[in-house]
Amino acid sequence: MSQPGEHPINRVREVQTPLKILLLAAEVVPFAKTGGLADVAGSLPKAIRALGHDIRVAMPRYGRISPHRFNLMRVLDPFPVPMDDRSEQAELMQTSLDGDVPVYMIENARYFDRDCIYMYPDDAERFIFFCRGMLEAVKRLDWQPDIVHCHDWHTALIPNWIKTIYAHDPFFENVASVYTIHNLAYQGIFGYRVLEVAGIDEYGFVVHPDTVDLNEVVDFMGRGIFFSDVINAVSETYSREILTPEYGEKLDPLLRDRRDRLFGVLNGIDLDEFDPATDSYLEANYNLESLDQRVHNKLSLQREAGLRQDPHVPVVGIIARLTDQKGLDLVTSTLEAVLQHLGAQFVLLGTGEQRYHDFFSELSNRFPEQAGIFLTFNASLARRIYAGSDLFLMPSRFEPCGLGQMIAMRYGSVPLVRAVGGLADTVSDYDPVSGNGTGFVFTTYDPMALYTSLVRAVETYRHRDIWRELQVRCMQQDFSWEKSARKYVELYNRARAFRAQDRTA
Ligand code: GLC
């Protein structure tokens, strides 16, 4: 049986015809961000543009996005968006990513002029409005995309609409859809009512004999998977894992049905944005040639975190949403031993579930000189942790791609990860015999397995030369978007071919 990872998509090839691509996401850096989705939506388009394609981005204009700061210009007169049996007015604003990629923002004060991006009772309606509004907007702009590239549940109804209510609209006749899954754990599940809001109630529920729990709800993620021409999960390993009940979040039967449409293009990181040689948030800039300078970042991080300043104590860093996904229960059950027996220092940055807030606050009270805890979100401190820590911990239960380990490696912090999803695809285990590897990798989801690899890492850290070689190998890894952008372009072409084939079928 063919695995998604073995698909010909992984043979990179230059694509000649420029494509028109509309990429829609609920969050995009630098305008709005809660997680990795925003990083991807803000950096992938630049790389696709660099390959010569006309890619444009669309997102809602949240109240927090300052029209002044981002130079927003109105590009369309207010226009109606069909919602339920009425219509709502939308406005279309435009700005750009680095002056390069056009960014459209759908505006409507009632839906988007709020403090946060999500977590409102009417989220389904808000994102239906954004997506439907954008489809109506491109018609008015008379800019006909070849591809709509949707991300996560918020934009997942677009492929559904294209194949139902817009099926006979000549404007969308040749528009193919690509749906990227960033995290199957957030599916956007709602009741029947949203089908009416979205204008697709006449088609009813999507029913699958093996996803019984989901047959009488509206699962946005499931619909994206069901209706899109091509599906992408953000790493090869994740694209295989989600075919199993363990990682499939109840959608694995549907994903197995569509496995010939499922691919796993790995995310990249923005190498200009994340560059220790130029990062203005750091105490000292450095590169491979001036790696000795890195220690100044470590000492200043220790100061900032209230830890004892000592260049020789290993500093373990974590930057994460404090949720189960990130393997924090493994961390909470081993951390005390790590501090007491291994003598390491620990720095954590992130927000999330209350029980983790409680645990880590209490820990910092008990180990004030060894544990620096920041229960907040702070982009500049994040950079200083990447640059000042020796080890970067990501013991995730599951990890679709993971960007932190790639950034850490670029900054010379050696990753310690669990072999799942994108972590398995980007970090290889250090082998003291051959001297190969870029980090420390464990497999079993178990505190002892984490602890054992920490022991191994801390022991390796004592050997300065070996550690230096490990850091250099990490910093030499190529996580640029270019490779992945070429694979995405190939996916776009594949989606067009599937679309043409399905329409004649
Ligand atoms: C989600 C996933 C993470 C991935 C990111 C970007 O946040 O949890 O693994 O790196 O999306 O695709």
State pLDDT tens for residues 112-160. Answer: 999 999 999 999 999 999 999 999 999 999 999 999 999 999 999 999 9
Q: In angstroms, rounded to a whole number, what is the distance separating the alpha carbons of residues 465 and 93?
A: 54
Task: Evaluate: CB of 283 within 6 angstroms of ligand 1.
Answer: no
Q: Is 273 among the domain residues?
A: no
Task: Classify residue 275: in a domain, yes or no.
Answer: no
Domain count, the chain: 2
At 30-57, the pLDDT tens digits run 999 999 999 999 999 999 999 999 999 9
In this structure, the answer to whether residues 307 and 455 fall within a common structural domain is yes
Q: Quickly state the pLDDT bin for 9 (edges 50, 70, 90).
A: very low
The answer to whether the CB of 400 is under 6 A from ligand 1 is: yes
pLDDT for 2: 38
Q: Which domain holds residue 28?
A: 9-268+482-504
**Distance from residue 505's CA to the centre of ligand 1 (Å):** 35
Same domain, 202 and 300: no
Domain match, 111 and 53 both: yes
Please indicate whether residue 266, judged by its CB atom, sits closer than 6 Å to ligand 1.
no
Q: Is 267's C-beta closer than 6 angstroms to any atom of ligand 1?
A: yes
Same domain, 469 and 490: no
Residue 502 has pLDDT above 50, yes or no: yes
Element (H, E) at 474: helix 464-476
The residue among 208 and 265 whose pLDDT is bigger is 265
Position 40 in a domain:
yes
Return the CATH number at 140: 3.40.50.2000
| 2 is a domain residue | no
151 lines ligand 1 (CB under 6 A): no
Distances (CA, A) of 241 to 159, 371, 443: 24, 34, 14
Say whether both 347 and 459 belong to one domain.
yes
**What is the reported pLDDT for 135?**
98
Q: How much is the pTM?
A: 0.93
Token pair 């300043």: residue: 309
329 & 475 share domain? yes
For ligand 1, pick from 183, 241, 249, 426 the residue to mutate: most ligand atoms within 8 Å of CB: 183
What confidence category does residue 234 fall into, taking pLDDT thresholds of 50, 70 and 90? Answer: very high
Note whether 118 and 240 are same-domain residues: yes
Residues 296 and 229 in one domain: no
Residues 358 and 461 in one domain: yes
SS3 content of the chain, % helix, strand, coil (to 5): 40, 20, 40
Ligand 1 centroid from CA 82, angstroms: 32
Nearest CA to ligand 1 atom 10: 402
- In contact, 407 and 271? CB cutoff 8 Å: no
User: Does residue 1 sit within a domain?
Assistant: no
Question: pLDDT tens digits for 167-199?
Answer: 999 999 999 999 999 999 999 999 999 999 999
Percentage, residues of the chain above pLDDT 70: 97
Tokens of residue 470, six digits: 């490990």
Contact 491, 232 (CB under 8 A): yes
Pair 406, 269: CB distance under 8 Å: yes
Q: How far is CA 51 from CA 54, 99, 398, 478, in A?
A: 9, 16, 32, 18
Same domain assignment for residues 176 and 230:
yes
Residue 230 has pLDDT above 50, yes or no: yes
**Nearest ligand 1 atom, CA 180:** 12
Choose one of 237, 403, 427 to mutate for the ligand 1 pocket test, by most ligand atoms within 8 angstroms of C-beta.
403
Q: How many residues does the chain have?
A: 505
Q: Is residue 276 part of a domain?
A: no
Residues 306 and 450 in one domain: yes
299 belongs to a structural domain: yes
Question: Which ligand 1 atom is the nearest neighbour of the CA of 238?
Answer: 9
Same domain, 362 and 251: no
- Residue 48, domain member (yes or no): yes
